[in-house]
Chains A and B, each alone.
Chain A
Amino acid sequence: NAGVTQTPKFRVLKTGQSMTLLCAQDMNHEYMYWYRQDPGMGLRLIHYSVGEGTTAKGEVPDGYNVSRLKKQNFLLGLESAAPSQTSVYFCASSYSGQGVLYEQYFGPGTRLTVT
């Protein structure tokens, strides 16, 4: 049981390049999330998904797109990377429930640098 895994672990991009971050979970969780972590700002929600084929915007969605084609995978895309997107990106997943808040399980993160 690997939990939540993220690919790649590190990446350096030039301004304007594109890339996709992959998140996979093997816990059969319905909900998945993408966060970015910046010094002094904590974690901020970028996008999230409540099920296969559905996505929604979080607190800081601009410049990012996501897709959830399979229940176990959640992809985060940067179409035209900017230096402001230099950050550590975390994926998380959780069970779903009516009015119930379940623990979010986080992946190990992807450190992205945009030059």
Chain B
Amino acid sequence: QQQVKQSPQSLIVQKGGISIINCAYENTAFDYFPWYQQFPGKGPALLIAIRPDVSEKKEGRFTISFNKSAKQFSLHIMDSQPGDSATYFCAASIRQAGTASKLTFGTGTRLQVTL
């Protein structure tokens, strides 16, 4: 059962354009939504994360928009650069006292930024 659905599977954006990746979740108990960035041959690395008590979080060119009622969140990359070409994963988790909070990942979006 896919608890976090991610789209699109792949995305091609011109340099300077806006990249938008969307995720939808089913479990309303999720209370932490990170985005991970993965370059070929490397492990994923945390890019930006949001909690459901805010609707937007911005860090540099990267913004998460969060819609709690629709159970959706998205990553926007402004002024996309060739160096942003990577695979992006959304994820969701529930904070649990006394044990590890397990991440549920989306299926990933391969972003290619062209010159």
Q: Which residues of A contact B45 (CB under 8 A)?
A: 105-106
A20 — which chain B residues lie within 8 A by C-beta? none
The answer to whether the Cβ of B27 comes within 8 Å of any Cβ in the partner chain is no
> Do A98 and B43 touch (CB < 8 A)?
no
Which residue numbers of B lie inside 8 Å of A, CB to CB?
4, 6, 9, 32, 34, 41-46, 49, 89, 93, 95-108
A-B contacts, 12 listed (Cβ < 8 Å): A43-B44, A43-B103, A50-B99, A56-B100, A59-B104, A98-B98, A99-B95, A99-B97, A104-B103, A105-B45, A106-B43, A106-B44
CB closest chain-B residue, reference A38: B107
Min Cβ gap A27→B in Å is 14
B-facing mask of A94-111, CB < 8 A → 1, else 0? 101011110111111100
How many of A's residues come within 8 Å of B, CB to CB? Answer: 30
Q: What is the CA–CA distance of A44 and B44 in the complex, to the nearest angstrom?
A: 13
- Find residues 36-74 in chain A having any chain B CB closer than 8 Å to their own CB: 40-45, 48-50, 56, 58-59
A42-B105, A101-B93 are known contacts. Are A108 and B43 too (CB-CB below 8 A)? Answer: yes
Chain B, residue nearest A108 (CB)? B43
The answer to whether B105 and A40 have CB atoms under 8 Å apart is no
Given known contacts A42-B89, A101-B95, A90 and B100 CB-to-CB distance under 8 angstroms: no
Query: How many residue pairs between the two chains, A and B, have CB atoms under 8 Å in the bound complex?
Result: 63
Measured in the bound complex, the distance between the Cα atoms of B34 and A4 in whole Å is 20
A67 to B96, CA, bound (A): 23
- Contact for B101 among A40, A42, A56, A101, CB less than 8 A: A101
> Chain B residues near A90 (CB, 8 Å)?
43-44
Please state if A41 and B96 are interface contacts (CB–CB under 8 Å).
no
Q: How far is the CB of B88 from chain A (nearest CB, A)?
A: 11
Partner of B107, one of A40, A96, A109: A40
**Chain B residue at minimal CB-CB distance from A109:** B43
